[in-house]
Amino acid sequence: QVQLVESGGGLVQAGGSLRLSCAASGRTFSNYAMGWFRQAPGKEREFLAYISWIGASTRYTDSVKGRFIISRDNAKNTVYLQMNSLKPEDTAVYYCAAFGRGSVTTADGYDYWGQGTQVTVSS
């Protein structure tokens, strides 16, 4: 089991920045690739970013490429999502997840999830 706890969400004006953190406990964090997803009301959970277990490989969905940066610190058992140039359409609950198997861009590929943190971007 891996327990994940997100933090860092909040209310920000359009054009602003936030950094989300996801703290892991339980099984060895460095064994897991990690991902960030988000879900807006009435929409499906959306893949945002993926990082491999040592951080050598990253992947982003097109809508956040160039604005969001995923990183990890295995010594702190934490994965981060730096979000810049935020837009009102980025408003959603943001989740981190530990990858299991399959596609890194679909929720089905992830075995463990945090409870989510709300990000609201005002115009």
Backbone dihedral angles phi then psi of residue 3, each to the nearest 5 degrees = -100, 135
Q: What's residue 1's pLDDT? A: 85
| 63-92: average pLDDT | 97
- What's the CA gap between 100 and 84, in Å, rounded? 28
| 4-12: average pLDDT | 98
Q: What's residue 93's pLDDT? A: 98
Confidence of residue 26 (pLDDT cuts 50, 70, 90): confident
Confidence of residue 87 (pLDDT cuts 50, 70, 90): very high
Confidence of residue 98 (pLDDT cuts 50, 70, 90): very high
Measuring CA to CA, which residue among 11, 27, 22 is closest to residue 97? 22
pLDDT at residue 27 tops 90: no
Residues 6+ apart with CB under 8 A from 25: 2, 3, 5, 77
pLDDT at residue 30 tops 90: no
- What's the CA gap between 87 and 38, in Å, rounded? 14
Question: Over the chain, what is the mean pLDDT?
Answer: 96
pLDDT at residue 92 tops 90: yes
Confidence of residue 97 (pLDDT cuts 50, 70, 90): very high
